[in-house]
Structure 1
Amino acid sequence: MSPSDATAELSDRLWQAVADGDEHRAAGLVHQAAADGMEEERLLLDVIAPVQEKVGLEWAADRITVAQEHAATAINERIVASLAHRRPTREPRTPRQGRVTVSCIDGEWHAFPARLVSEVLVLRGWQVDYLGAQTPTPHLVAHLHHTDPDAILLSGSISTHLPAAHAAITACQALGVPVLAGGRAFGRDGRHARALGADRWAADARGAAAVLQAGLERPGPATIRQVADDLPHLADQEYTMVVLSRPQLVKQTLSDLESRFPAMRAYTDAQRERTAEDIAHIIDFLATALYVDDPDVFTEFLTWTADILEARHVPAHSVVTGLEALADQLREFPRTVDLLQAGGAVLCDRPTRPVPDPDIHA
C-alpha cells in the first residue's frame, strides 16, 4: 500500500471512530500510527484535518446532528492535544525559529484550524502563543505589547467577522507586528486579506509555515490607518446604515414574510425564533459583502444556505422572498439593492433540487 493510500485509509478509520463517538478507539488509531513512524505533521494535516472537514460536511448534509458535530470536534481537539502532550519525550526536530502568536478573530469560535497551524509551527521549531477562539482585539493587543512576537497569525472561518479582522490587522500593525491571515473568511485566494491590509495570507498550515520561514518584514513607524484608507467605498455609508438598522430589518422582514406566507402566523415561538435568526444571518452576510465590496461573499453564503435548507426538507426558493422583502426596505441604497438582486438571481438560476419526503428513508 502506498503512503498516500495508507494515510487515506487511516483517515477513513478515524472518521468511523469519531462518528461513533469512540474517543478511545480514535486516539488509539492515531497513537499507533505515530508509534509506527507516521510523522506528526502528516497525522495532523492529512489524517485528522480531513476528518474534521468531513464533520462539517456531514452536519451540512443533515447526516449528523449539532450535538454529534460538537462531540466529534471535541474528540478531534483532544486527539490533537494528546499528540502534543506526547511530544516532550521526543528529540527536537528543528532548531528554534522565533516567536509567533496564533489567534482567532474576535467573534470567531471555529478554533480548530488555528490549533492545527499552531501545532505545525511548534513542530517546525517556533515558539507559539496559541490564544484560541474569539480573542477580543484589545486583549490581543495587550498580549502583543507583552510578548513582541515576530508575527501574529489571525484565523477566521466565517466572513461576517471580516470587519473585526480589519480592526485587529490595523491594531497589530500599529504595534509594528506583521500580520499573516488565514482561513476561509479571507477568501479562497486571500483577496479579503489583501483588501484589509494584511501583510501576507496563507491557504493552510504548510503555507503559513513557508511564509514565516521566508520571513515577514515588520511594519514601518506606527501609524493608525482609517477604515476608508483601505476601503474607500465605505464612504457611501451603506454598510453602516445596514448594520445600524439590523434589528428593524429583521422585525420588518419577518412581518413581511407573514403577509406573503399566512401559514407563518401559525408558527411556534421556536419556529419564529429560528426564522428571525435566518434573516439576521442574511443581513450579516449582506453587510459584510458591503464592507469588502464583494458580491461573492453574499451569493456564496446564499448558495450554502440553500443547500442546508434543502438537506432539511425546506424549499430553498423561500429565501428569495426574504431577499425581496429586504430590497423593498433598502431601496434607497443602490449597492445594497444590487447585492440583493444578485443573490436572488443566483438562487433562481440554481438547479432546483427536489425536497425529499422526510418520511422516506433510503
Structure 2
Amino acid sequence: MNTNLFAAPSDITCLVTGLWEAVFTGDEHKAIGLVLRAVDEGIAPESVLLDVIAPVQAKVGEEWAANRMSVAQEHAATAINDRAVAALSVHPAARAAAGRGRITVSCVDGEWHALPARLLAEVLKLRGWHVDYLGAQVPVSHLIAHLHRTGPELIALSSSIATRLPTAHATITACQAVGVPVLVGGAAFGPDGRYARLLGADAWAADARSAADQIQSGPLPRPETSHQTIDDLPHLSDQEYTMVTRTGTRLVRTVLHSLEAAFPAMRQYSDLQREHTAEDLAHIVDFLATALYLDDADLFTDFVTWTAFILTSRGVPANSLPPALHLLAGELKDFPRASRILELGSRQFTAPSSVPSAAARNHP
C-alpha cells in the first residue's frame, strides 16, 4: 500500500471528477468504491472527506440551483455522498484513538442539511476526539439534556438555512447558559461569519477543516451564564419581527389573493403553479422575518436575487416578484424596518446571471 498521506492535485481532481460522475448518475457502488480505493492507495481520509466529497456536494447544490438536477436527483446524490462518508468512517485507515476529549456536533433545530456537520464530526474523530454526532433537526431541549448528560468541551453547531438563525440564536444562548462554549459554522452564518458574531457565538469557522484546526489549537473559554438574548439585539424591542412571524400565514394568504389582480398572468396558473407561488411567498415572508431579526437588509435582498435566479433557471417568469413585494409592503406599511427592507428588495430585483451568496441560496 502506498503510504503517502497527501495526494497530488491531479489525483484529487480525478477523484472529484469520478465521484461527481458517480453521484450524478446515482451509482452508489461506484462512489463508495472510489472513496475506499483512494484511501487504500494512501490518500488521507481527511483529504478524501474535505477535498473530494465536500466539493462534490457543493456542486450538487449548484447544479440543483441551475436546474440541471431535479430535487429527487439532488436528494439521491446527497444520500450517496452520505453513505460514502459512512463507508470511509469504518475503513481501518480512519480509526483513531479518542484521547483528546469530548465534543458534540449538531445541526440547529429545523436544519436538515446534515452533511456539513457530518463531515466535521468525521474529521474530529480522525484527529482523536470523542464525538457525539447528533445529526439534523435537533430540538433545543433535547440538545441541552444531552449536554448536561455528557459534559462536552464544546458544541459545534451547524446551519445552512438562514431562516433558522433565530432558532440558532436561542440554541447558542441555551448552550452557553449551561456553560458549554459554541462554535458555529455553515452558510447560514454568512461567508464572513457576521451572523455568528451578531448572535454571540464563541467562535465561527468557514469550513470543517478550519473548525477542526480551531478546536485543536486550544479549548474555548467557558461562557458566562448570565448572558441575556435581548441584550444582543435591542432592535427586537420594536416587535416587528414578532408581528411578521405571528401573521405570516395571513400575509401569504392576503398577498396571494391580491397578486392575481396585480399580475394577470397568474389567472392562467394551474393548481400546482399556485401552490408553488404560495410556497415562494411563504419563503419571502420567512426571509423578511429573519432580516428583521438580524436587522440586516442584505440577507433579504440577496434572497430576492437568488429567487429570481431560481425562477429564471426553471423557465418561470420572475417578473411576479416586484408586484408580490409591493403588495407585501402595503400590508406592512406601518412597520418602518420591514417597509425599508422590502423597498430595498424591490430595487435590487434583477434577472441575475449567477448564483448569489451562499446564505441566500441555501434555501429549501
Determine which of 166, 170, 174 is the counterpart of 2:169.
Answer: 166
| Counterpart Cα distance in 1 of 2:289 and 2:223 | 30
2:61 maps to 1:59: no
Alignment of 1:124-273 (within 5 A): 124-213=127-216, 214-220=218-224, 222-223=225-226, 225=228, 227-273=229-275
Aligned counterpart, 1:106: 109
Q: Shift in Å at residue 207 of structure 1?
A: 1.1
The answer to whether the Cα contact below 8 Å between 2:101 and 2:130 also exists between their aligned partners in 1 is yes
* Structure of greater relative contact order (alpha carbons < 8 Å, 6+ residues apart): 2
Q: Shift in Å at residue 352 of structure 1?
A: 7.7
Aligned counterpart, 1:359: none
Which 10-residue stretch deviates more, 44-53 or 265-274?
A: 265-274
Q: Letter of the aligned partner of 1:217 in structure 2?
A: P
Determine which of 277, 285, 288 is the counterpart of 1:283.
Answer: 285
| Counterpart Cα distance in 1 of 2:114 and 2:222 | 26
| Counterpart Cα distance in 2 of 1:20 and 1:263 | 37
| Counterpart Cα distance in 2 of 1:229 and 1:72 | 42
The answer to whether the Cα contact below 8 Å between 2:95 and 2:126 also exists between their aligned partners in 1 is no
Q: Letter of the aligned partner of 1:271 in structure 2?
A: Q
Residues matched between the structures, number: 347
2:307 maps to 1:302: no
Over aligned residues, Cα RMSD in angstroms?
Answer: 1.6
| Counterpart Cα distance in 1 of 2:204 and 2:252 | 35
The superposition leaves residues 111-165 of structure 1 with CA deviations (integer Å, 9 ceiling, x where unpaired) of 0000000000000111100000000000000000100100011100000000000
Q: Letter of the aligned partner of 1:142 in structure 2?
A: A
The answer to whether the Cα contact below 8 Å between 1:171 and 1:224 also exists between their aligned partners in 2 is no
**TM-score between both structures, scaled by the size of structure 2:** 0.92
Q: Shift in Å at residue 13 of structure 1?
A: 1.0
Identity %: 59
The answer to whether the Cα contact below 8 Å between 2:309 and 2:352 also exists between their aligned partners in 1 is no
- Structure 1 residues 42, 260: closer, same or farther in 2, change over 3 A? same
- Structure 1 residues 352, 134: closer, same or farther in 2, change over 3 A? closer
Determine which of 66, 72, 84 is the counterpart of 1:79.
Answer: 84
Q: Letter of the aligned partner of 2:247 in structure 1?
A: S
| Counterpart Cα distance in 1 of 2:94 and 2:280 | 49
| Counterpart Cα distance in 2 of 1:91 and 1:188 | 32
Q: Give the match's secondary structure for 1:317.
A: helix
| Counterpart Cα distance in 2 of 1:261 and 1:151 | 51
The superposition leaves residues 277-299 of structure 1 with CA deviations (integer Å, 9 ceiling, x where unpaired) of 10000000000000011111111
- Structure 1 residues 90, 7: closer, same or farther in 2, change over 3 A? closer
Alignment of 1:292-331 (within 5 A): 292-331=294-333
Q: Give the match's secondary structure for 2:337.
A: helix
Structure 2: any 5+ residue segments left out of the alignment?
1-6, 355-364
| Counterpart Cα distance in 1 of 2:348 and 2:95 | 54
Q: Letter of the aligned partner of 1:330 in structure 2?
A: L
